Structure 1
Amino acid sequence: MRNPFRLLSAKPPSTERDAFELVLDDGRVVRVQRVRNARARRIKLSVDERGARLTLPLRTSAASGERFAHEHRDWLQAQIDRHALDAQPALRGFESATLPLRGATVPLRWQSGRHARLQAEEAGDTAGLVFQLPARAGPTAIARALHDFYEGQARADIGRWLPRYLPALPRAPRLFRFRQMSSQWGSLSPDGTVALDLSLILARPSAFEYVLVHELCHLIQPNHSAAFWAEVEARCPHWRGERAYFHTHGRQLKASLRALLDPQING
């Protein structure tokens, strides 16, 4: 007879997370995220825009994982250096002179003020950004103001593009949400909410608009069938070039946004 209490017992977590520090040969100390995953069949070391990650099967000991990372520290150091070259330098209050925006590098100037706030300014034939910052504002306040500015700019772009596509859609998107995504650029939930990667505001505008079109077309075809791509083609004939742009520059865009918005990096 089947044990009735088995259904009441708590299932072991499929994923467990913690972290450890690893000293590289050049003396740098790297924080490695350790992830125990029930689906993992072997130890795996990886590096992406979020940092170093060590994936372990559930039954693998922590010591075995750390030994694996130590044995592959040369590879890890090379990957970390490559990502550092791709990423935007961290934002430094009253020091950084530029910011990435819409595929370009925009001049940035700083001024003292009561509240942390970033704004676009136009003076004659020149355009730039002004970051107002209280004297005691720390990295967290800077990151929050930058995040709010980028999201505001992204919503403004969508506000310009969306009206041309709405008439041909079966329904309008419920709302738009922006967040940092690890691999995706956008997604559409069953209730019509469109989620977009905030780093799209760093990309060239045509690439950002392609991602918007891609997600809007899922309101018509909730798949990636030939019919779906025909809908994309009708609205964005150059979509293949934009997809290739993300293949080339996507990792850099995501890494740059992380470097700009992470208070630990900016501190």
Structure 2
Amino acid sequence: MATAREPEYRDGHGFIAEVIRTRRSKTADIRVEDGAVSVVVPLNTPAEKIDQLLVTKRRWIKEKIALQQEATPVRAKRYVSGEAFSYLGRNYRLKVEAGNFAPVKLVNGRLVVTVPGGAQQPHVIRNALVRWYKRQAEQKLLEKVTRYAPMVGAHPAGVGVRSFKSRWGSCTAKGAVEFNWQIMMAPTRMVDYVVVHELCHLIRHDHSQAFWREVERVMPDYQQCREWLRENAAKLVFESP
């Protein structure tokens, strides 16, 4: 079994870019999602070439980040130490430290973010947290799909994590299930419901009574979960600084 690579980051001077190395990529591809920048490159691309690409595309990247920040409602979050962030229904306090950019860590009940400039760069802190939530989503949702798929009797072609504006998950035409990473802010039981819901769509592609019977067979309390998500959806939004 291949070992997971350590997260790799490059300083874009105003943003931090996550480097994703893959054998499947022949050329470099820059992505800006939820204000977070990533660069997908062939496996052995030198760091110097990545830095050069970021310099070349810097204006485009900054424009993309600005547009995404404008599209996200401005709320109360300031991304400073002491603020609370929900993860699987439990609140964790943010601790911001100044230093070389490092992946977010959950330590002693605190979300520790280390970025150059510390609290002086709230958008960089937000982007670091977004990356952390997405990584947790990739791991936890795969675990939950593996657990519930045999109960549902469904066999998804794959499991993905995406950014959705108004839904918690979906099924692709190829039979894969995809989930909104922001569901990781909800309590665990709500995450379970979303997983079961999408797996049941692999059997029933509508919201007929037969579909809901499939959901109820695995989760008798699904109606309470559905109602909780309906009432609390507005709170499960990753706010802009």
Shift, 1:141, TM fit: 2.3
Shift, 1:219, TM fit: 0.8
Check whether the contact 2:156–2:176 (CA below 8 A) recurs between aligned residues.
no
**Residue of structure 2 in register with 1:109 after alignment:** 95
**Residue of structure 2 in register with 1:134 after alignment:** 116
Could you say what the CA RMSD is over the residues aligned between the two structures, in angstroms? 2.3
Check whether the contact 1:173–1:216 (CA below 8 A) recurs between aligned residues.
no
**Residue of structure 2 in register with 1:201 after alignment:** 184
**Residue of structure 2 in register with 1:13 after alignment:** none
Check whether the contact 2:138–2:161 (CA below 8 A) recurs between aligned residues.
no
Quick check: which has more Rg, 1 or 2? Answer: 1
**Residue of structure 1 in register with 2:163 after alignment:** 179
Unmatched tracts of structure 1, length 5 or more: 1-48, 52-83
Instruction: Please point out which of 236, 240, 257 is paired with 2:223.
Output: 240
Instruction: Rate the CA distance shift 1:116–1:144 in 2: closer, same or farther, 3 A.
Output: farther
Shift, 1:227, TM fit: 1.6
TM-score by length of 1: 0.57
CA distance in 1, matches of 2:146, 2:235: 30
Cα deviation digits, residues 37-90 of structure 1 (max 9, x gap): xxxxxxxxxxxx955xxxxxxxxxxxxxxxxxxxxxxxxxxxxxxxx8xx6x31
| Matching of residue 92 in structure 1 with residue 75 in structure 2 | no
TM-score by length of 2: 0.62
Check whether the contact 1:117–1:133 (CA below 8 A) recurs between aligned residues.
no
Q: Alignment partner of 1:165: what SS?
A: helix
Cα deviation digits, residues 1-20 of structure 1 (max 9, x gap): xxxxxxxxxxxxxxxxxxxx
Cα deviation digits, residues 183-211 of structure 1 (max 9, x gap): 22211121123232222111111111101
Q: Alignment partner of 1:232: what SS?
A: helix
**Residue of structure 2 in register with 1:217 after alignment:** 200
Q: Alignment partner of 2:101: what SS?
A: coil
Instruction: Rate the CA distance shift 1:152–1:91 in 2: closer, same or farther, 3 A.
Output: farther
Report the AA paired with residue 160 of structure 2.
F
Q: Alignment partner of 1:224: what SS?
A: coil
Check whether the contact 1:103–1:202 (CA below 8 A) recurs between aligned residues.
yes
Shift, 1:170, TM fit: 4.0
Report the AA paired with residue 175 of structure 1.
V
Q: Alignment partner of 2:229: what SS?
A: helix
Shift, 1:250, TM fit: 1.0
Work out the percentage of aligned pairs sharing the same amino acid: 27
Instruction: Please point out which of 145, 155, 158 is paired with 1:162.
Output: 145
Report the AA paired with residue 163 of structure 2.
R
